[in-house]
A and B are shown apart, each in its own frame.
Chain A
Amino acid sequence: MFVNDRLISLSEMTVGEDATILAIQGGRMVSSRLVSLGFTPGVQVNMVQNYGRGPLIVTVRGTRVALGRGEAAKIIVERGVHE
């Protein structure tokens, strides 16, 4: 069992941090676009750029993807890498 503070939204990750996606909230349209770019539950993401406001950049499945803060807030991740 993990402690609660390991569960955060993707927008709360700090630069260089790794995390594993647990769930994608929000509408079907947005989820579906995220999925086709490689965001699925269980996948590992790495935060490339996050200045606390504005859009951010993550690496997922070897691709850099820019996300709006609103979109990033809908992706729930668990800190660290777990298999």
Chain B
Amino acid sequence: MSECHVTPSITVSHTSAKDMGAPIIALAGQPNMGKSTLFNLLTGLNQHVGNWPGKTVEYREGHFDLSGHSIRLVDLPGTYSLTANSPEEMIAREFILREKPSVVVAVVSAANLERSLYLVAELSALDALVVVALNMMDVAAQEGVQVDARVLEAALGLPVVPMIASKAAGVQELLGVVNEILSGKRVPSPRPPEVRADHREILAKIEAQIAGHVPPPYPKGWIALKLLEGDAEVTHMMQAALPKEVWDAVHDILRAHDDAFLAVASGRYEWIGCILRAAVSRPKIGQIGLTERLDRWAAHPVWGLFILAGILGLVFWLTFTIGSPLQEWLDARIIAPLAGLAAGALADAPFWLQGMVVDGLIGGVGSVLTFLPILVIFFAVFALLEDVGYMARAAYVMDNFMHLMGLHGKSFLPLFLGFGCNVPAVMGTRVIDSWPARLLTILIAPLVPCTARMAVIAFIAPAFFGANAVWVSWGLVLLSLLMLVVSGALLNKVIFKGQRSAFIMEMPLYHIPNLRTIGLLVWQRSIAFVKKAGTAILVMSLLVWVLSYLPNGNLNTSFLARFGHFIEPVGRWMGFDWRLTVALITSFPAKENAIATLGVLFGSSPNAGLTDMLTVSFSTASALSFLVVTMLFIPCMATVAVTKQETNSWRWTLLSVFLLLGLSMAAGTVVYHLAVWIGL
């Protein structure tokens, strides 16, 4: 089940014909070092985002021209080390070892050299041509840290280029050095860290044992080192590759030194320490940095929660004051005229074709398109908070709360995104580093009320509850979140046996947001939404339209209506008649379809008196129950599709669907009978 046990077989299939022979440059670096900023700077919109083959790890590659040659730039996942702790680390090292990029640009932060050189220490032990991009020189200067790039260069044996990626400074120099390496004018001669003296002999013994048995393309010395570090993947691979008696001998050595990974890591930090003593001068001033001052509030267990609540409130306010009018505008000015145009153009076409294009196709496209403004606002705020460095604080202050479900703070971030749309929420669970925690977060994410469901609530609640609609809406949101916590806690107990993953997270320094980075992030997420959700919604809208049209073009006698009548007895538990049942079913392609369906079922006159007809036809108890079920009902089609994609399992996907189906029906039944009992 765990993704951590992937076999080392990553081959990249993104290569198109025009790339053949184009030199590959790989960007490597730890998180929060400005790697993405540099990538965006070099490639601009000329980039492609996807997944690494067979993995749910984002793959980004782009192109740029360097003195007449097209260069393929591959952004490796941000990793702290190259030990197989996560799929990201596996991908990064397998790519370097197998694809053998012409140059590896290692992005490090001048303000945080000690830690960021750790990855360089690992990289220089691979047979790769590494150039060090010494980024964030401005942040270092602000903190009074001075880095001598020439000394660093001499100590590492690797070219070092000082730069400020956020201000596009030093990029030409970096490209100049890359060009020199590509043309063979300059050859880096890395001086990788040595293993500490007390473990050198053991390493030599292992190397001698495995000699001749190491499968290509792995360097022998590197394999021996990773064995000593207890790297699960390399150990697994070598156990299979070595003859039994050799493996037994190696295994005995390793068992006798199972704390060697600490010695290896300490050795790397000692190597870094020596380099830093020569290259960095850091006048010790006891000044309190901006980050520390802000964190006194933002990371405070009480004030931090208030700040988070304030930010959440602001996001919703923005969404509804800017997003909703924009959404209506799009609907009135683009979708409606488009539908009119299509209806006119197809006036002579068969009625079914007209219906399919106007209601099915344009209706489907419309619901995707009109949700974009709200999502773009959500993505923009999210990207801004991420880029500024606030998101780590949000995760930190929510850690205690998330423990209720056996999760930790990091799971809060995708759930937060879920208020906009559950699709990016499920995809956003990639930030969670343990697979059980990630799976659990995916399972509960659909219980976060998304904007589409809020649109249904906003339409129906005022009709039945008048001035109290606001309280009913709030109650429904709270009910959803309560269900989220309860099901999270139960799932954790039952399926995941209460295991909890480790919460270890870097708190990056706050910094001025980079609009280019944010813009590209919003662009990519929006495109991903349109592609994923768009196709799913479109296909399902067409299907639902066909079912509501066949066999004789009348919805009231269509297959869909017959199905509604068929399962009406089940709907009765929750106080639904067949029309509410059908409306609920058609909310599967897109939640807001529920209203459109009711509109069609009650005589198609757009909005004119639909609310009045609803209040006449249904009791308040039925309406309340319908709202509750809508809030908790099975995830929309697009969410189910990404759940399948992210879990790579039908079993978990179906569990997610049936969990919510059961939960919503149970809640609806209880609420309906309670409401009838108190006389609504």
Residues of chain A whose beta carbon lies under 8 Å from any beta carbon of chain B: 24, 28-38, 40-43, 48-49, 51, 53-55, 57, 61-68, 70-71
Contacts and interface: CB of A to CB of B under 8 A. Distances in A.
Contacts of A67: 503-504
B400 interface: yes
B62 to A, nearest CB: 27
A62 B262 contact: no
B503 A66 contact: yes
A59 to B, nearest CB: 9
A64 B507 contact: yes
A61 B80 CA distance: 14
Contact of B114 (A51, A53, A61, A68): A61
Contact of B503 (A24, A40, A53, A71): A71
B295 A71 contact: no
B502 A55 contact: no
Nearest to A49: B299
Given A64-B507, A66-B507, A38 B118 contact: yes
B304 to A, nearest CB: 10
Interface residues of B, number: 39
A28 B502 CA distance: 12
B400 A53 contact: yes
Nearest to A67: B504
Given A66-B503, A66-B507, A71-B504, A40 B262 contact: yes
Interface string B402-431: 000000110000000000000000000000
Contacts of A33: 80, 85, 433, 502, 504
A66 B261 contact: no
A21 B112 CA distance: 20
A36 to B, nearest CB: 4
A41 B395 CA distance: 28
B229 to A, nearest CB: 8
Given A36-B80, A38-B114, A42-B266, A54 B502 contact: no
Contacts of B409: 55, 66
B633 interface: no
Q: Name the residue in B114, B500, B504, B507 with the highest tally of chain A Cβ atoms < 10 Å from its Cβ.
A: B504
B503 A49 contact: no
B108 to A, nearest CB: 12
B85 A32 contact: yes
Given A30-B502, A32-B85, A37-B504, A62 B399 contact: no
Given A36-B81, A40-B266, A54-B301, 17 more contacts: A28-B261, A29-B85, A31-B261, A32-B83, A35-B261, A36-B80, A36-B83, A38-B114, A38-B115, A38-B118, A40-B265, A43-B269, A55-B409, A65-B504, A65-B507, A66-B505, A70-B500
B262 A54 contact: no
A29 B409 CA distance: 19
B615 interface: no
Given A36-B118, A51-B301, A54-B301, A68 B269 contact: no
A78 to B, nearest CB: 16
B274 to A, nearest CB: 14
A62 B456 CA distance: 49
Contacts of A65: 504-507
Contact of B115 (A28, A41, A61): A61
Contacts of B390: none
Contacts of B85: 29, 32-33, 36
Interface of B: 80-81, 83, 85, 111-115, 118, 229-230, 261-262, 265-266, 269, 291-292, 295, 299, 301, 392, 395-396, 399-400, 408-409, 433, 500, 502-509
Contacts of B506: 37, 63-66
26 contacts: A29-B85, A30-B504, A31-B261, A32-B81, A32-B229, A33-B502, A36-B81, A36-B83, A36-B85, A37-B115, A43-B269, A54-B399, A55-B400, A55-B409, A55-B503, A57-B299, A61-B114, A62-B111, A63-B112, A63-B115, A64-B509, A65-B505, A66-B506, A67-B503, A71-B502, A71-B504
B299 A54 contact: no
B236 to A, nearest CB: 14
Contacts of B395: 66
Contacts of A57: 295, 299, 396, 507
A63 B503 CA distance: 16
Contacts of A49: 295, 299
A37 B408 CA distance: 18
Q: Name the residue in B266, B400, B507 with the highest tally of chain A Cβ atoms < 10 Å from its Cβ.
A: B507
A55 B265 contact: no
A30 B86 CA distance: 12
A62 B504 contact: no
Contacts of B118: 36, 38
Nearest to B145: A62
A32 B268 CA distance: 14
Nearest to A58: B507
B209 to A, nearest CB: 22
